[in-house]
Amino acid sequence: MSFDHRLVDGELGSLVLRDIARFLERPDLMVLHR
């Protein structure tokens, strides 16, 4: 899978990284959130 490094730039990247960190901490919450 190719990864576009532009996605991690700016506000969007910050939101994505925050969601990933949250998922790693509490995967059960992410499952219930969907």
State pLDDT tens for residues 1-34: 566 666 556 777 788 888 888 888 887 776 666 5
Q: What is the total count of domains within the chain?
A: 1
What does the pLDDT read at residue 30? Answer: 60
Residue 2 lies in a domain: no
As a whole number of Å, the CA-based R_g of the chain is 11
Q: pTM, whole model, 2 decimals? A: 0.42
* Distance from C-alpha of 12 to C-alpha of 22, rounded to nearest angstrom: 15
What does the pLDDT read at residue 9? Answer: 66
Residue 1 lies in a domain: no
What does the pLDDT read at residue 11? Answer: 78
What does the pLDDT read at residue 8? Answer: 55
What does the pLDDT read at residue 10? Answer: 76
* Distance from C-alpha of 27 to C-alpha of 33, rounded to nearest angstrom: 10
Q: Which residue segment(s) compose the domain that 15 sits in?
A: 7-34
Q: Residue 18: enclosing H or E segment and its boundaries?
A: helix 10-25
CA atoms within 13 A on the CB side of 8: 5
Torsion angles phi and psi, residue 3, rounded to 5: -120, 130
